[in-house]
Structure 1
Amino acid sequence: MPRITSGDGVELHYLDEGSGPVTVLVHGYGAPAAGWAPQQSALVAAGRRVLAFDRRSHGESGNPAYGRRMARHGADLAEFLDALDVRDALLVGASMGANVIWAYIDLFGTGRVRGVVSVDQTPKMINTGDWSHGFYGLTPQNAGTFFDHGIPATGRGNPPYTEEIAALVAASPGPAPETRPLLRDHAFQDWRDVVERAEVPILFLAGRDSQFWPCGHASAAAALNPKATATVIDDCGHVVTSDQPERLSEELVAFAR
């Protein structure tokens, strides 16, 4: 597996397959780049070069005791694109990976970007008076401790997707303590102003039965930018890459055209 080294000395491993216009896949919290395998295969078959890297503290990449914040993950994405001289890329992020893309655009703009796809990720995690599409139960009052014991099961979503998440939570004590600062930082961010200013086409995808937030987050986020659209995927929970792999691949291939 090839790798680059970030500006602060962290090895970032990545996958590189196919040729043609570039799609960059950014995975979510706790997931590896390899989780994109069905979508990677479909995009390569459609004539695209597909890059997917393990974010720091994930997969085969380094796990340093620093940089556990969204801004640093956005900078890692920038350094990854720079190192491989990627231009005119379609950036696709699942879950937290989508907000890593907004962190990147916030810091570095859209000069290397031709479009963005956000896969079941609200741009604002905390529910407030002007935003009711955040993580179920997450409020300004409890945000500081909400993720202290990992990602809580919400009891939302329809079977089998609620059972799927519950099984994952039961099988694990939660994220390793060293990654929880990243999760907390993620929780406190509000990327809506970045979405508003992004001058590229955007597609917000949502699983109708997402366990973490109302599927209406997609249309609410799309309403922030005239270049944005939203699609809700039926019979699908939060983990769209595995719940509806073929449908997700179809959406990505169509948007990439």
Structure 2
Amino acid sequence: MPSITTSDGVRLDYRESGDPAGRPVVLLAGFLAPATSWRYQVDALGAAGFRMLALDLRGHGTSEHRDSGNSMARRAADLREFLVALALRDVVLVGGSMGGNTIWAYLDAEGPELVSQIVIIDQTPKMLNTTGHPGEAGWPCGFYGYTEANRHTLFGSGVPETGHGTPPQKRGRRIVRMLGATGSGGSPVSVLTSALRSVLAKHELTTGELELLHNHAVADWRDVIAASRLPVLFIAGRESEFWPAGHAAASALLGGNPAACSIVIENAGHATNLEQPDEVNLAVLEFLGPRVREAAVGGRG
């Protein structure tokens, strides 16, 4: 498997497929999810002529695990070093969950020079809900139940259950799709545990994982979004377990970016790209430009 080594000596693995001469699409998975969770997008976008690069950031998937570097800033630096190491330009960045806010952390630190378009899948830019002050709008699109009152405690032992989202009877489909998408790396049991433990909140997280989760939870990337004029598509799962689907439209309105748009995928929870891959792929391909839309379905295989 190809890899790069970061400036602080951490090995980052990635998977490459699609057209080597195509426009690069870099895929960043969410908290504890492996790069293989992008299987359905890799197939569809690769069939449409893109160069697909699914990156396992540090501590995720098959990349090296370290006790250091558990912050959004370090993830942003790792992404920059990856783009530079592969000499990538005109890059489409696609991030799901924490992978989405990693993109904003990268833009905040490095600017938009290497990036041409962005896709964010079911990730609010601010997880903390606020009511606002006089003359200042609040933010009701954060993590369910996360407020100033429990700012430093809600994620103290992991990702809590919210009581929202995909009904339990529908979750079987999510598990089947996740196993199918990641079955090439490790046993089904280990893959399921690695990819879904943050969602199911039944895994005892390491100190480093908790540090990263807290750093992610307290961040606010709305000003970065507001300042950007890059084309960006915000995708929300209607039945997300973590936040209201309205976060996508609210994010697209930040700063009045005319190149920002949003869509809500029905019958999908937080793992939107796995629960409704065809719909997500069609939306992404349409956003990226004139492509063979049928490839989004035919490439899933």
- Asked whether the two chains share a fold, i.e. TM above 0.5, the reply is yes
2:235 is matched with which residue?
205
Give the Cα separation in 1 of the matches to 2:200 and 2:7. 37
- Does structure 2 conserve the Cα–Cα contact (< 8 Å) formed by 1:162 and 1:211? no
Distance 2:95 2:169 in 1: 20
Q: TM-score, normalised by structure 1?
A: 0.95
Superposed, 1:10-25 pairs within 5 Å as 10-19=10-19, 20-25=22-27
Report if aligned partners of 1:161, 1:211 keep a CA contact under 8 Å in 2.
Answer: no
Residue 175 of structure 1 deviates from its aligned partner by 3.0
Q: CA RMSD in A?
A: 1.8
1:84 corresponding residue in structure 2: 86
Distance in structure 1 (CA, Å) of the matches to 2:272 and 2:171:
15
Q: Which runs of 4+ in 1 moved over 2 A?
A: 160-178
Q: Which structure exhibits the higher relative contact order, with contacts defined as CA atoms closer than 8 Å and separated by 6 or more residues?
A: 2
Q: CA separation of 1:40/1:217 partners in 2, compared to 1, >3 Å: closer, same or farther? A: same
Structure 2 unpaired stretches of 5+: 132-137, 176-195, 290-301
Distance in 1 (CA, whole Å) between partners of 2:171 and 2:207 is 25
Q: What letter matches 2:12 in structure 1?
A: L
The structural deviation recorded for 1:215 is 0.3
**Please, which of 132, 138, 142 is the counterpart of residue 134 of structure 1?**
142
Q: Comparing 162-171 with 123-132, which one deviates more in the overlay?
A: 162-171
Determine whether 1:254 maps to 2:286.
yes
Number of aligned residue pairs: 257
Residue 114 of structure 2, aligned match among 112, 119, 138: 112
Shift of 1:249: 1.4
Deviates more, 1:132-141 or 1:247-256: 247-256
Once the two structures are TM-superposed, the CA of residue 143 in structure 1 deviates from its matched residue by 1.6
Partner SS state of residue 149, structure 2: coil
For residues 169 and 236 of structure 2, what CA distance do their matches in structure 1 show?
Answer: 14
Task: Return the match for 1:145 from 140, 148, 153.
Answer: 153
Structure 1 residue 170: Cα displacement: 5.5
Structure 1 CA distance for aligned equivalents of residues 56 and 151 of structure 2: 27
Map 1:1-257; keep pairs closer than 5 Å: 1-19=1-19, 20-129=22-131, 130-160=138-168, 163=171, 172-224=202-254, 225-257=257-289
Q: Please list the CA deviations of residues 55-77 of structure 1 after superposition, one character each: whole Å capped at 9, or x if unmatched.
A: 10011111111110001001100
- Once residues 203 and 46 of structure 2 are traced to their aligned partners in structure 1, the CA distance between those partners, rounded to angstroms, is 36
Distance 1:170 1:64, change over 3 A: closer
Aligned-partner residue type, residue 210 of structure 2: R
SS in 2 for 1:55: coil
| Alpha-carbon distance in structure 1 between the residues aligned to 2:88 and 2:169 | 36
Residue number in structure 1 paired with 2:191? none
Q: Which runs of 5+ in 1 are unaligned?
A: none
Shift of residue 172, structure 1, vs aligned partner: 3.0
